[in-house]
Amino acid sequence: MNNMTNPTTPTSWSSLLLYGSGEGANSLVMNGLAGFAMLYYTEALGLSPALAGLALSLSVFWEGLTEPAMGHISDRTRSRFGNRHPWMLVGGLMMALCFYLVWAVPEPMRASQNLLFGYLLTVNLLLRTGLTMFFIPYVALGFEVSPSYDGRSRLQGVRQICNMAANFAGPALAWSVFFRDTAGPTGPVLGTSNPANFALMGATFSIAILVLVAVTLLGTRHALRDTRALPPSGDGALRHFLIELKTTVLDHNAVWLFGFTFLVCAGMVLVSSLQMYVYVYFMSFTPEQKSLAHGSTMIGMACGAALSMWAAQRFDKKGTVLLGAGISVAANALLGLIFLPGWVSTGGTGSVVIFVVLHAAYWFGNGLVLPVATAMVGDAAELRRVRTGRNHDGGYAAVFSLALRLAVAASFAASGYILTLIGFEAQTGGGARPAAEVIWRLGAVTLLSGPVLCVAAMLVVMRYPLTRQRF
């Protein structure tokens, strides 16, 4: 079906990298929140883990609800500046400002649990609104920048590499740059117990987000097209939106992929939100070892994303996501088998090497999965465009993102309640340490939850019907 593609669309590596820089902005927001928000509000500010998890999950749930509407609005926008770039500009500015506010909590808002919960929820709702306005048109633009079957895999692979590059340069190195432990009168004070460290990180990341958004907008201006001449969006917008949403969700080419995305992402986010606690308590890493462990996840995922471009051609797309999911299951299951029974004690150089290698392998598998799964959504959207003669990229990008956001919301809520259920209590001051049995439970949940959800995801995606032969 070569007639599906537009051969004049630029797909040079420079074009792909300029587009991928937008994923760097998304990475700083998403990975910054996933990695440090729970630590900040529980360790540094003393908010209950259950309340912190609830606030973060509600805001992500809000984002999931608004994203299908944003996809519909973006597809139907008529403007001389196109239907993607105006929303990306406004959303990018909004998410940079609100990301900073997450970490710059005014002193009066710290006076009580209720005030702190309300502040966290409000700022995150605004942040997620801005992220929706940027991210949904951005993903839809990617389907248009590189519309061929293999081109979609290549673009999403580059995009994921940019995600991990920003994650490594930002959240991974944050341990050594912003959160170094200091000596206190009664012992070492954890860097994550000082609110000022988080505020400095937030300001630095926010500036970087603005720069990356600007690079993306300027670098993709070749894809900007005046949409004023397109047929008007028409009346009955709400009814049309609901019909479009239902049709997209129930598309037999994509429904299994949406389910797979939800499950595999839920496992990833649950692991990523708890792994910071594992670094601090279960493995007792130094700041340098935390940066090494966290950085290995980005390197692993970036390598997986780079290999995904070859793997998708060698094993086709469904085979590649099954391979990646299988690697992730094996890596974290091995970590659990090695460390939970105490066969290898923590604290030594050998334990650090074993943990980092297998930890990186878990994220390497996820690096194979995410870009290819995103490209598979583009394939389903392209087939529907051929059937209907209309562009549905925004709608498919929105429903795919909805699956991601619902998974993130569920995982944030679960992580907060899991910490409470295993007996973990909010610590302030950096001197207290949970009991040994609590730390063991923390390690068990973090290392085993990902593989369980990943196996379920593999069973779902096996029903996905599209192959290269369909194109």
| CB-count burial class (<10 Å; 0-12, 13-18, 19+) for 382 | buried
Burial of 266 (0-12, 13-18, 19+ CB in 10 A): buried
Give the residue from 389, 150, 394, 374 showing the smallest Cα distance to 248. 394
Phi, psi of 25 (to 5 degrees): -65, -45
Domains of the chain in sequence order: 16-226+237-470 (1.20.1250.20)
* Backbone dihedral region for residue 389 (phi beyond 0: left; psi -120 to 50: alpha; all else: beta): left
Task: Give per-residue pLDDT as tens, 146-176.
Answer: 767 777 788 888 888 898 889 888 887 888 8
Predicted confidence at residue 426, as pLDDT, reads: 60
3-state SS class at 184: strand
Q: Are the C-beta atoms of 157 and 305 separated by less than 8 Å? A: yes
- The helix/strand/coil state of 150 is helix
Helix (H) or strand (E) holding 187: strand 187-189
Q: What is the pLDDT of residue 11?
A: 62
Question: From CA 123, how far away is CA 97, in angstroms rounded?
Answer: 10
Query: Sorting pLDDT into bands at 50, 70 and 90, what band is 7?
Result: very low
pLDDT value, residue 131: 95
pLDDT of residue 206: 98
The rounded Cα 446 to chain-centroid distance in angstroms is: 17
pLDDT category at 61 given cuts 50, 70, 90 is confident
Beta-bridge partners for 187: 184
188 beta partners = 183
Entry pTM: 0.73
Tokens at 459, concatenated:
């069973």
pLDDT recorded at residue 432:
64
| Tens of pLDDT, residues 325-351 | 999 999 999 999 999 998 988 878 889
Q: Name the β-bridge partners of 182.
A: 189
pLDDT score for 2: 42
pLDDT in tens, 260-306: 999 999 999 899 888 888 998 899 898 788 888 988 988 898 899 89
Question: Tokens for 443?
Answer: 């390690």
pLDDT tens, position by position, 439-460: 999 999 999 998 999 999 999 9
Do residues 174 and 29 lie in contact, with contact meaning Cβ atoms separated by under 8 Å? no
CB-neighbour burial class of residue 346 (10 A; exposed 0-12, middle 13-18, buried 19+): middle
Which residue, among 413, 443, 431, 416, has the nearest Cα to 47 in the 3D structure? Answer: 416
Please give the full DSSP string across 123-134, using - where no structure is assigned.
HHHHHHHHHHHH
Which among 70, 90, 92, 34 has a CA at the least distance from the CA of 266? 34
- At 38, the amino acid letter reads M
Q: 109: which DSSP letter?
A: G
pLDDT band at 1 (very low <50, low <70, confident <90, very high): very low
